[in-house]
Amino acid sequence: MIDYDPVRPKWVQIYEVVRARIESGEYPPNHLISEVQMESEFHVARVTIRKATAQLREDGLIVTTPGMGSFVASKKASEND
């Protein structure tokens, strides 16, 4: 659970927490990003989680496979330079 800033959208704050976990290695490549688990952890509606995961996907941090779920993406080639 996080202390939400009331003047910023919750989905943005959740996105920032998950992004930080990915960048720190707490969530390594291929780690499952479970919407159900996030919904429970952050105490928000699924639609809020889906907005956060959509932004993570758009930023290339996660990859979603239909029927399997969302997983942390492998590091981009440019990050390995």
Q: DSSP letter string over 46-79?
A: HHHHHHHHHHHHHTTSEEEETTTEEEEPPPPGGG
Domains detected in the chain: 10-74 (1.10.10.10)
Whether 67 has a pLDDT exceeding 50, the answer reads: yes
Assess contact for 70 and 30: CB atoms under 8 A: no
| pLDDT tens digits, one per residue of 6-38 | 999 999 999 999 999 999 999 999 999 999 999
Q: pLDDT averaged over the chain?
A: 92
Model pLDDT, residue 81: 42
User: Across the strands, what pairs with 71?
Assistant: 32, 63
